[in-house]
């Protein structure tokens, strides 16, 4: 299986691929694509779109989505199941063991729904540890209030997705739980010590460092690099690679978030220079994609190898959806 050379993942503008998008993707050859609610109408349309995206680059490029459950869920009723927010599900399970089972089963069903429409990567598990100061935008998207619980639920979610033929993308590395602002609008600074971060925030990612793909966080860790958000910090990328031990494919969070400063070209260049493998641009705006593609360039040799390994981790689905649904119905 070949891997795209562009160090990018792009969105597209709407529910059908436009001729100018098709031509751009053919030339830019992004590693993969990501879809949002604006791209989704019904299963037949979404299958056509994911097929057209892959056809545009002439290979089996990965197509990602944010399908967490709760507020962040791109595929919704009436064509797809609605899911409760993850933290609500975990809290309501009664025990960590029960939560592991429920979250694994629901990830299996999610994966089955995604795979049938040509989506083969989901941007979960969310491994941020909830703290009292965690911003409400993030809080109920998380899996727990201590690193052990988060790691156990995160592992169950990853296993459920992979059983359904969908790759997990863990986020927001190396930990977003101490963020008290929404990174879509502001850049947060975390003042916790390196020791606290290692013991709590980094711990779930360290436990799941064998997963194939991960997404960075747009926040400053003052104890380690007070000047740059993790996405653009060589120091924090070294923490991710060496202290946490993640060897897989590392992509940025969306470069359009206002936590980052500068032009899109500057944001992209800083991200790639820091050691992130793939620049993620979600908006689907053609002029912006051209700017990002130019700044990202082609994947570095090590990134190319990691990309191939990530795609090779995809499995043939083995999920019995009816049995999984029956398991969920029994709580």
d(CA 124, CA 161): 9
- In 3-state terms, what secondary structure has residue 166? coil
Do the beta carbons of residue 6 and residue 37 sit within 8 Å? no
Count the Cβ atoms, other than its own, within 10 Å of residue 132: 8
Per the annotation, the verdict on 176 as an active-site residue is no
Say what the pLDDT of residue 4 is. 54
**Cis peptide bond upstream of 78, omega within 30:** yes
Alpha helices by DSSP H, 182-263: 194-196, 203-207, 234-238
**Residue 112 near residue 321 (C-beta atoms within 8 A):** yes
Q: Give per-residue pLDDT as tens, 213-223.
A: 999 999 999 99
Q: How many helices (H) and strands (E) does the chain have?
A: 13, 12
254 included as an active-site residue: no
Q: Is the Cβ–Cβ distance between 204 and 150 less than 8 Å?
A: yes
Q: Which fold has domain 6-313?
A: TIM Barrel (3.20.20)
The pTM (predicted TM-score) of the whole model is 0.96
Calculate the dihedral angle through the C-alpha atoms of 255, 258, 264, 270, rounding to the nearest 10 degrees: -70
Give the chain's residues under pLDDT 70: 1-4
* 265-318 pLDDT tens trace: 999 999 999 999 999 999 999 999 999 999 999 999 999 999 999 999 999 988
Query: For residues 193 and 217, what is the distance between their CA atoms, to the nearest angstrom?
Result: 17
Other beta carbons within 10 Å of 42: 12
Span 238-275, pLDDT tens digits = 999 999 999 999 999 999 998 899 999 999 999 999 99
How confident is the model at residue 181, as a pLDDT? 77
Q: Is the dihedral of CA 288, 260, 72, 330 positive or negative?
A: positive
Please tell me the distance from the alpha carbon of residue 155 to that of residue 42, in angstroms, as a whole number: 30
Q: Are 296 and 255 in contact (CB under 8 A)?
A: no
Strands in 79-235 per DSSP E: 121-122, 167-173, 189-190, 213-216, 220-221
The one catalytic residue among 253, 254, 277, 281: 253
- What is the Cα 259 distance to its own chain's centre? 17
Q: Where are the domains of the chain?
A: 6-313
For the record, the structure tokens of 311 come out as 């795609």
Q: Select which of 184, 191, 194, 210 is catalytic.
A: 184
Q: How far is CA 215 from CA 58, 145, 232, 277, in A?
A: 25, 21, 12, 10
């Amino acid at each position: 299986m070949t891997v795209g050379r562009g160090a990018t993942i792009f969105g597209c503008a709407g529910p059908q691929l436009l001729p100018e998008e098709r031509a751009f993707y053919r030339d830019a050859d992004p590693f993969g694509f990501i879809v949002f609610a604006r791209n989704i109408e019904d299963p037949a349309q979404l299958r056509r779109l994911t097929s057209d995206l892959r056809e545009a680059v002439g290979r089996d490029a990965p197509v990602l989505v944010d399908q967490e459950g709760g507020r962040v869920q791109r595929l919704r009723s009436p064509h797809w199941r609605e899911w409760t927010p993850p933290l609500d599900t975990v809290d309501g399970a009664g025990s960590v063991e029960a939560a592991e089972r429920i979250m694994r089963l629901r990830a299996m069903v999610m994966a089955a729904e995604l795979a049938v429409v040509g989506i083969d990567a989901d941007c979960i598990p969310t491994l941020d540890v909830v703290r009292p100061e965690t911003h409400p935008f993030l809080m109920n998207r998380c899996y727990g209030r201590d690193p052990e619980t988060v790691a156990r639920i995160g592992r169950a979610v990853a296993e459920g997705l992979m059983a359904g033929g969908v790759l997990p993308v863990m986020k927001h590395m190396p930990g977003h739980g101490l963020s008290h602002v929404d990174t879509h609008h502001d850049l947060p600074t975390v003042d916790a010590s390196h020791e606290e971060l290692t013991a709590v925030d980094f711990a779930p990612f360290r436990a799941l460092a064998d997963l194939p793909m991960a997404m960075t966080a747009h926040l400053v860790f003052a104890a380690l690099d007070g000047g740059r958000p993790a996405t653009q910090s060589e120091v924090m990328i070294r923490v991710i690679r060496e202290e946490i031990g993640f060897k897989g494919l590392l992509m940025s969070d969306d470069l359009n978030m206002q936590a980052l400063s500068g032009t899109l070209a500057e944001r992209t260049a800083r991200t790639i220079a820091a050691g992130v493998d793939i620049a993620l641009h979600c908006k689907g705006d053609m002029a912006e994609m051209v700017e990002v593609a130019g700044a990202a360039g082609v994947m570095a040799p090590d990134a190319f190898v990691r990309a191939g390994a990530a795609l090779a981790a995809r499995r043939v689905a083995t999920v019995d959806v009816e049995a999984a649904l029956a398991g969920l119905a029994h709580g």
